[in-house]
A and B are shown apart, each in its own frame.
Chain A
């Protein structure tokens, strides 16, 4: 069955430090992959997406993610985190095979920023 795994439930980093959030997927075909952020009391906002082409994708707020087919991974990175990045981050895969029509989400990673 198609699934998304985010191994880290909670990560704490210091402000200004680099960040990597892990995401592994299980999907038979070429995946459509997404990272969303959910701030307290807010809805979900799309950070970036991968459909095809360059495996390193740039998103909003200084985030990037790299698709590695051999590792079935789509890890999210940011070189220097800001206190405002504290939020819940969700990785998702579309299982309809048409872009973003049927999303399966990972369990989420809660990011805490130390001042």
Chain B
């Protein structure tokens, strides 16, 4: 499987500021994803982080609000920009493409509260 870490694990931020979340995997992976889980809700895919190129965003999510980087095969960042209280959520990264595993492995999540 994979060991996935996220930093920070939680944060409380002021509206109008930005927060960058890091996702680190202990092995090279083919695909990395970012999800949002709003309070009491399910997971919604934000984007697929592509190594060396621009991320692929899902409907309703834009690069200006959620810029994503993936400089190599084990690391990605998600920035939540110009935050508002509606951005309060758990943000999870996941990975796919580890050895013979055809499944997504999820990180522990980053709990963000925006005041």
* B92 x A44 contact (CB < 8 A): yes
In the bound complex, residues from chain A placing their C-beta under 8 Å from that of B11 are none
Bound state CA distance, A51 and B101, in angstroms?
12
Q: Is A70's beta carbon under 8 Å from chain B?
A: no
In the bound complex, residues from chain B placing their C-beta under 8 Å from that of A99 are 96, 102-103
Which of the residues A42, A45, A46, A90 comes within 8 Å of B43, measured between beta carbons?
A: A90
Q: Is A113's beta carbon under 8 Å from chain B?
A: no
Bound state CA distance, A104 and B45, in angstroms?
8
* B43 x A43 contact (CB < 8 A): no
Which of the residues B4, B42, B45 comes within 8 Å of A108, measured between beta carbons?
A: B42
Q: Is A103's beta carbon under 8 Å from chain B?
A: yes
Majority secondary structure of chain B interface residues (helix, strand, loop or mixed): strand
A42-B108, A101-B31 are known contacts. Are A49 and B45 too (CB-CB below 8 A)? Answer: no
In the bound complex, residues from chain B placing their C-beta under 8 Å from that of A36 are 106
Which of the residues A42, A49, A104 comes within 8 Å of B103, measured between beta carbons?
A: A49
Q: Is A31's beta carbon under 8 Å from chain B?
A: no
- A contacts with B, residue count (CB < 8 A): 20
Q: Is A34's beta carbon under 8 Å from chain B?
A: yes
* B103 x A43 contact (CB < 8 A): no
In the bound complex, residues from chain B placing their C-beta under 8 Å from that of A44 are 43, 92, 94, 106
Which of the residues B44, B48, B102, B109 comes within 8 Å of A43, measured between beta carbons?
A: B109
A51-B102, A90-B42 are known contacts. Are A101 and B109 too (CB-CB below 8 A)? Answer: no
Q: Is B53's beta carbon under 8 Å from chain A?
A: no
* B108 x A43 contact (CB < 8 A): yes
In the bound complex, residues from chain A placing their C-beta under 8 Å from that of B41 are 107-108
Q: Is A100's beta carbon under 8 Å from chain B?
A: yes
Q: Is B74's beta carbon under 8 Å from chain A?
A: no
A binding-site residues for B, Cβ under 8 Å: 34, 36, 42-46, 49, 51, 90, 99-108
B binding-site residues for A, Cβ under 8 Å: 4, 31, 41-45, 48, 92, 94, 96, 102-109
| 7 tightest Cβ-Cβ pairs between the two chains A and B | A99-B102, A44-B106, A43-B108, A43-B106, A105-B42, A105-B43, A100-B103
Q: 17 A-B contacts, Cβ less than 8 Å apart?
A: A42-B108, A43-B4, A43-B107, A43-B108, A46-B103, A46-B105, A51-B102, A90-B42, A90-B43, A101-B31, A102-B45, A103-B43, A103-B45, A105-B43, A107-B41, A108-B41, A108-B42
